[in-house]
């Protein structure tokens, strides 16, 4: 009896100890998981990205590049906003990033002017701002940390230099050459820079007549409309300079519908910018004479810049991405197959 009783008490005792242990370790276990998630969150770098819109193939690729870079696996928490071409939407997005106290703000400004106030607000909140693709026109350059993008003036010059060489080859250095220009979003860095760059070369040639420059908003639909207008006003256009591929696609449609031909063996030479996959195919088959590349893969560069800032290293005020010039001569099958955008 006595032995049985003590046996029963021992079992109850062991059970009690077990329950107690489970409670202790169990709760420790849960606390640990909670703490780990908390710590993980705290370790993530929160980045607010204000993209200007989704007007072009370049833009889609640029957005993808950013989204592929700022992933949870890379240690980031990305808050992404698409401003649909409106500066006021970008201002709103940036202000919301500030109120959420993000660690970094990255944005691609739709136009260059009108950013002082919001950038000042970001600065006062101690949030570093990184510009992507396009730049801003501000007196106080300390309002942003750095800019990762393209040298648009150089891109414009590359277009001019290609035309110089081509006209020399064709022996057309004296007779008039009629040029129309489809420009991108007015006041954007890419429109301003490409215009300045091309004009720098054009001004050296008395026989180059720029008949008209007109904004087609970097979109295919507007490109077609504006090109139709050019064709109705000018019967003998020799060259179309189109500041991006999307406008070029529209412009080529308009030219073909008018009964004229384009490209290497056509009536009208086509100079384009961006070099997205669809346009490179057209370079390869001679529809587009030359495409000045604008590299949208900026996510990797932005990661590097933030790594440097996190390590307390100094960064430069401007980083230019690597870019090429494509003509029928250098667009290989390999390049076409590798093109991811």
149 touches 131 (CB < 8 A): yes
Nearer to ligand GYE, 71 or 113 (CB): 113
Binding segment for ligand GYE among 3-11, 51-59, 166-174, 282-290 (CB under 6 A)? 51-59
* CB nearer ligand GYE, residue 90 or residue 244: 244
Q: H helices of the chain, where?
A: 2-43, 57-69, 87-99, 116-124, 152-169, 189-202, 220-233, 245-257, 277-284, 299-310, 333-338
291 forms part of the interface with ligand GYE (CB under 6 A): no
**Residue 211 CB burial class (10 angstroms; 0-12, 13-18, ≥19):** middle
CB neighbours of residue 43 within 10 Å: 9
Among 47, 94, 102, 134, binds ligand GYE (CB under 6 A): 134
- Least CB distance to ligand GYE at residue 190 (A): 4
116-124 vs 87-99: helix axis angle to the nearest 10? 10
Interface residue with ligand GYE among 51, 183, 190, 220 (CB under 6 A) is 190
Site for ligand GYE in 198-217 (CB under 6 A): none
Q: Which long-range contacts (CB under 8 A, 24 or more apart) does 276-280 make?
A: 276/56, 276/57, 276/58, 276/61, 276/245, 276/339, 276/341, 277/57, 277/336, 277/339, 277/340, 277/341, 278/57, 278/245, 278/249, 279/57, 279/245, 279/248, 279/249, 280/326, 280/331, 280/335, 280/336, 280/339
Does 133 engage in binding with ligand GYE (CB under 6 A)?
yes
Q: Is 56 in the site for ligand GYE (CB under 6 A)?
A: yes
- Measured from the CB of residue 102, what is the shortest distance to ligand GYE in angstroms? 23
Instruction: Find the part of the chain contacting ligand GYE (CB under 6 A) among 55-63, 86-94, 220-228, 249-257.
Output: 55-63
Q: How far is the CB of 288 from ligand GYE (least distance, A)?
A: 14
Q: Which stretch binds ligand GYE (CB under 6 A): 50-58, 157-165, 170-178, 319-327?
A: 50-58
Among 50, 244, 272, 287, binds ligand GYE (CB under 6 A): 244
The residue within the footprint of ligand GYE, chosen from 179, 270, 294, 309 (CB under 6 A), is: 294
Identify which of residues 97 and 152 has a Cβ nearer to ligand GYE in the complex: 152
Decide if residue 298 touches ligand GYE (CB under 6 A): no
- As measured in angstroms, the least distance from the Cβ of 250 to ligand GYE is 12
Smallest gap from Cβ 296 to ligand GYE, in A, equals 8
Cβ 150 to ligand GYE shortest distance, Å: 6
Q: How far is the CB of 168 from ligand GYE (least distance, A)?
A: 27
How far apart, in whole angstroms, are the C-alpha atoms of residue 322 and residue 151? 10
Task: Give the helix/strand (H/E) hosting 323.
Answer: none
Query: Least Å distance between CB 53 and ligand GYE?
Result: 8
51 near 59, Cβ under 8 Å? Answer: yes
State the burial class of residue 130 (Cβ atoms within 10 Å of its Cβ: 0-12, 13-18, 19+): buried
Q: Which residues bind ligand GYE (CB under 6 A)?
A: 55-56, 58-59, 133-134, 150, 184, 190, 218, 244, 273-274, 294
């Amino acid at each position: 009896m006595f032995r049985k009783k003590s046996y029963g008490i021992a079992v109850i005792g062991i059970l009690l100890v077990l329950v107690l242990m489970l409670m202790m370790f169990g709760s420790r276990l849960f606390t640990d998981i909670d703490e780990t998630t908390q710590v993980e969150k705290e370790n993530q770098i929160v980045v607010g990205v204000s993209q200007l819109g989704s007007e072009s193939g370049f833009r889609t690729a640029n957005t993808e590049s950013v989204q592929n870079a700022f992933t949870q696996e890379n240690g980031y928490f990305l808050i992404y906003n698409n401003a649909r071409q409106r500066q006021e939407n970008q201002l709103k997005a940036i202000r919301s990033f500030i109120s959420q106290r993000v660690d970094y703000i990255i944005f691609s400004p739709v136009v260059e002017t009108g950013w002082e106030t919001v950038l000042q607000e970001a600065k006062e909140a101690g949030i570093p701002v990184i510009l992507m693709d396009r730049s801003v026109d501000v007196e106080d350059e300390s309002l942003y940390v750095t800019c990762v993008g393209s040298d648009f003036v150089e891109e414009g010059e590359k277009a001019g230099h290609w035309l110089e060489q081509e006209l020399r080859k064709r022996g057309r250095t004296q007779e008039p050459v009629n040029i129309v220009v489809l420009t991108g979003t007015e006041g954007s860095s890419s429109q301003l820079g490409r215009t300045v760059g091309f004009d720098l070369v054009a001004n050296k040639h008395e026989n180059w007549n720029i008949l008209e420059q007109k904004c087609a908003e970097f979109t295919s639909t507007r490109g077609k409309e504006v090109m139709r207008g050019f064709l109705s006003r000018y019967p003998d256009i020799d060259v179309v300079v189109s500041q991006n591929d999307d406008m070029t696609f529209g412009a080529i449609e308009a030219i073909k519908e008018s009964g004229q031909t384009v490209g290497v063996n056509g009536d009208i030479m086509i100079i384009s910018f961006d070099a997205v996959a669809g346009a490179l195919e057209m370079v390869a088959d001679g529809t587009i004479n030359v495409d000045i590349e604008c590299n949208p893969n900026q996510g990797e560069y932005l990661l590097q810049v933030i790594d440097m800032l996190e390590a307390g290293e100094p960064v430069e005020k401007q980083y230019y991405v690597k870019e090429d010039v494509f003509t029928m001569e250098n667009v290989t099958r390999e390049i076409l197959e590798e093109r991811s955008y």
